[in-house]
Amino acid sequence: MTMSHTLKKRVLVITMHDDPGVDTRAALLTQISDLVHGHKPTSVVIILAQPSPTQAALSVVLCAHHLCSRLDLVLSVATRSAPVRRLLAAGADTGGIRLVIHARADTAIATATALTTAA
């Protein structure tokens, strides 16, 4: 599993380059949690760079959404796949902060940055 991250104006941007697979899903969630707690961002964006994210990738995003919601952080996700966007919307936790879903990474980052600047 290849993942990278950057901090842009207090927005933590995490890019999942490959599918995590079932075996590395827990380790990836730990890395994301460590990044969120370590950087203390105002919001988080996860970019699913792979063309067809699998159920393991969706699970990571939904668990990260739950983590961010508990910490009062907005989580945005960007994926080019319309079916994946629909699955994320259907599976998102509705008890906390809404999961924001975008088709394009640049839009997700720009929106998160604008929210951070406005806050």
Give the pLDDT confidence of 2-43 residue by residue, as tens digits: 899 999 889 999 999 988 888 899 999 999 999 999 999 999
Q: What is the DSSP letter of 97?
A: S
State the Cα–Cα distance between residues 81 and 102, nearest whole angstrom.
Answer: 10
**pLDDT for position 67:** 95
**pLDDT for position 57:** 92
Rg (alpha carbons) of the chain, rounded to whole number: 13
Q: pTM, whole model, 2 decimals?
A: 0.94
- The answer to whether 46 and 63 are in contact (CB under 8 A) is no
**pLDDT for position 22:** 84
Per-residue pLDDT tens for 33-88?
999 999 999 999 999 998 888 899 999 999 999 999 999 999 999 999 999 999 99
pLDDT of residue 118 exceeding 80: no
**pLDDT for position 95:** 84
- The answer to whether 18 and 42 are in contact (CB under 8 A) is no
**pLDDT for position 1:** 60
Average pLDDT over residues 89-95: 88
